[in-house]
Structure 1
Amino acid sequence: MKVLLLLLLFLPLFVLGQDTPVDTLAPPAPAASLGDTTIYSFADEAARFPSPCERYDTTAVAKAECAQRFLLDYIYQRAIYPAEAREEGISGTAVVAFIVERNGLVNRPEILRDPGGGLGQSALRALAAMQREVLWRPAFKDSTAVRFRVVLPVRFRLEDPKPYVVLGRDTVYTDLTKAATFTGSGGDIVAYFDEKITYPDIAQDSCATGQLDIQLIIQPNGLVRVNDIIDYNDLGVPFTSKAIDAATGSFGKWIAAEYEGRKVASAYDVSFNFTPTDPGCAYVVEDYGRALGIMQEAQLLVSDSTTMAQGLSKMDSAVALFPRDGRFRILRGQARLDDNQLPGACEDLRLAKEIALIDWYDGVLPLLCRKAEDEE
């Protein structure tokens, strides 16, 4: 089942001046030092989610409508449909509420209605991200900024999956009758790219070593386009350029995928490993190969709760050899998360995001790190 998440935004529905319980998810945001501390549900101008429309000379109503669209997009990207709800076929509308303080910060997020299956918590996690990332335009009453309560219904709905996803300008099929086939080098794509990829013509005194992952889009006509690239070791432009050139240079060496008898665009993931050829870097190459082997052993161990500690110890050894390897940080961060080691998971996943610019954990990282801070 594919997940579709819709959000409906309504004006607040509660009585003027009614305060709400303090949610344990986060401490209250700092309020202004003086002024009206009443929490309003109606005002001359309601609080608005930030949007480009604030720059335009339009009415407050038009700006509010625009703000709702941007709020919808923000929540849609962060309120992930929980696996529990998906597996149990649970759908419905979660209702959450929060306060927009006079300084624009989001405070006191809470669940008012939870359909179950983790839907309410998913909506609440989106608000946790908002607390760290978003500064609202506050509500105004009698030309003065006031505290304002927002009630937000978030509708979760399951629907039958489509055989494709839209990636940018491409309709990429994920349900294939026949997968794309590589025809170069006798069909051996690894051998082909091993031959084509070369270390950039740059000074090797840094002994830069690491991996790039690239997602290719194979078009119906055999054209190859790079959709995404992840630089796990922050190797930089000379390396990504080499990988892109090698990938797109495989044009004409593919038979496009098929769906119900017609050729369609599909995705194909490839990895490129770069190791320096300078003899002075031989020890780095050796250490990197050793670290990869240790990490592979560790992955098997952490998959079993009885050997989790042993696996994490091995991961520590690999990370010690290459502390800024994004893949190592992701693998250890996930293992630490599984073992409920929240401070360590926060550290690893934050650094992985910094190094490799991944956004995989954006929906949970603010909440995870806040819980880690509370534990400490």
Structure 2
Amino acid sequence: MIQTLRLALLLACLGAAPATSALAQQKLKYPKASPTDIYDAVEKPAEPLGGVEAYGRYLGDKLTYPTAALQAGVQGTAEVTFVVEKTGYTSGWQVTKSLSPECDAEALRLIKAGPRWKPAQHRGGVVRQRVTVPITFQIPAGAGATAQAAGAPAQPQATPATSAAAPNGGFETITPDEPARPVNGTDAFFEWVQQNLKYPAQARQRKVEGRVTMEFTVEKDGTLSNIKPVKRLGSGCDEEAIRLIKTAPKWEPAKYKGQPIRQRMVLPIVFQL
């Protein structure tokens, strides 16, 4: 009887072992995330398809400065918070740091119309993540001026370079250590502009004088892209200013920590009879 009892206890213990092991393994598993959960911090944050740099380019290229904000001199940063869904689409957009009604609306438009994202990953699965992106509105230097003094060409003005990833999964603005500049210096660049500028016949006939404020991006290889006027003069002057920048010599690209980066520039093209 004693031997039978011992054998029964031994079999009972052996039979219980797998169940205990299974229970322990079950405790080690992460709890399954609810489909409705939204994470602020994750192991692998969401990122735009194409990469952070391409997304920064999109923001810079597609931003349209609201006329009312420009006329009122409004500049600064609006922050938009949204959810990157498991599908990579965004939802739940809201302005969490307001700048002005016009700028807030433009910031929302940019984010809503933006590219899809690569969704976040956390604890071995794809999850929804809350992301905040700052949209900076900066008035180009001198954009509000009406004329340029004779013999005193304005200097090119740099604006912050492409956005980069921030630790919280958002973005931050990079200021280059070395701003972009013309290869042979600013004086040589404006001398080239003066030599190659063709005064439009219509502007000459109408005696139109002033300046066109141009904005463009100096790429990593020194070429100029995204060329557009931000303050127009009309009578053919805007088209001539665009032509000049498109045919201009290469620039020395901006640098950040020793590496070339893209940078947006603003400079005036002066028309004076």
TM-score (norm 1): 0.32
TM-score (norm 2): 0.42
- Higher normalized strand content (fraction of residues): 2
- Higher normalized helix content (fraction of residues): 1
> Larger RCO: Structure 1 or Structure 2 (Cα < 8 Å, ≥ 6 residues apart)?
2
